Amino acid sequence: LSPQVGGRIADRVFDITRTFSLALDVGSGRGYIAQHLNKETVEKLIQVDIAENALKNAVESEIPTVRVVADEEFLPFKEDTFDLVVSSLRCCSLPCVCVLPARCCSLTRVCVFQIHRVLQPAGVFLGAMLGGDTLYELRCSLQLAELEREGGFSPHVSPFTAVADLGHLLSRAGFNTLTVDTDEIQVNYPGLFEVMEDLQGKYIFCMGESNCSWNRKPLLHRETMLAAAAIYQEMYGNSDGSVPATFQIYYMIGWKYHESQAKPAQRGSATVSFGDLGKIEGLLKRGKK
């Protein structure tokens, strides 16, 4: 999953027609974004991650790179340092972002403010995080099995953010000209148990942390797990016997304000009304004649 998302973030960097002199990869992990970039687009890159082992095992890229072990909540850089900041499924992917920005996971919120601080004016931030429909097959199967076997259910998968909240979060941090789009990546597994075994150490549980849901049961009974596996296969199973796990990815782009950026026109300054749009076809026909 991480290599695919890293490649798609790199594609979005290439869509910006400029060369970045100094870029920062926050929560870089093994450098899944850097391996898709080139030195014609990014002249120098700094990779930051709190996990030293991840940085030591980072994939090499053609870009001159400096690796720094640091906490994303306290980025050790001066204000207005970078003209590009990227982040893929790490600091801004924490699935404990709640419904409203005021209730967001404090680390995610502080991390976004830190990113805005170290960006230069007219600098851009591109990030990716897990979306609200991630692992809906697993959640539904566990809930139905627990309802059937135990007469109730509690959340066993960390909650994920809604797409509407990302705009609020970036706006509160000071970003403008915001863009958020969604994508889905589906991974096939032999069964439910393989899904849970793989996810526990990788994507969910805050990228290796434990489930952040409150008031949840610490364990699932064996009979409930077997029932969930059967439900998963029955409701979502593929023809070859495997089961899909869907990851919804939110990609976000935000710019730090600069006077050179385009500004919206003042209210009432328009010279053409929406009522004239219906006349465009007629005007085009006259022009052809």
Residue 286 lies in a domain: no
Residue 271 lies in a domain: no
Domain that holds residue 73: 1-265
Alpha carbon 197 to its chain's center: 22
Beta-sheet pairing, 119-130 with 243-256: antiparallel
State residue 224's pLDDT score. Answer: 87
- Locate tokens 């940085």: which residue? 55
Q: Residue 199, CB half-sphere, CA atoms under 13 Å: how many? A: 26
Euclidean distance between CA atoms 226 and 5, whole angstroms: 32
Euclidean distance between CA atoms 261 and 97, whole angstroms: 30
Residue 272 lies in a domain: no
Contact 84, 20 (CB under 8 A): yes
Euclidean distance between CA atoms 234 and 230, whole angstroms: 6
Residue 63 lies in a domain: yes
Question: How many domains does the chain contain in total?
Answer: 1
CA angle 82, 207, 162 (to 5 degrees): 80
The model's pTM: 0.78
State residue 101's pLDDT score. Answer: 38
Q: Give the CATH number of the domain where residue 98 resides.
A: 3.40.50.150
Euclidean distance between CA atoms 94 and 75, whole angstroms: 17
* Polymer length in residues for the chain: 289
Structure tokens, 144: 């139905």
| DSSP code, position 20 | B
Please give the chain's pLDDT, 289 residues, in tens.
788 899 999 999 999 999 999 999 998 888 999 999 999 999 999 999 988 898 999 988 899 999 999 988 889 999 999 999 999 876 443 333 333 333 344 446 678 899 999 999 999 999 998 888 889 999 899 989 988 887 766 666 666 777 777 888 888 889 998 999 999 999 999 999 999 888 775 544 333 334 444 455 556 788 889 999 999 999 999 999 999 999 999 999 999 988 877 777 788 787 777 777 677 777 677 666 5
Euclidean distance between CA atoms 212 and 265, whole angstroms: 44
Residue 276 lies in a domain: no
Residues contacting 184, CB < 8 A, separation 6+: 133, 246, 247, 248, 249
| DSSP code, position 80 | T
State residue 120's pLDDT score. Answer: 95
State residue 109's pLDDT score. Answer: 65
Beta bridge partners of 275: none
Q: Within a 10 A sphere around the Cβ of 255, how many other Cβ atoms?
A: 19
Residue 185 lies in a domain: yes
Structure tokens, 173: 């941090």
Residue 288 lies in a domain: no
Residue 112 lies in a domain: yes
Q: Which among 59, 53, 58, 3 is positioned nearest to 203, based on CA atoms? A: 3
Structure tokens, 26: 């926050």
| DSSP code, position 74 | G
Euclidean distance between CA atoms 183 and 130, whole angstroms: 10
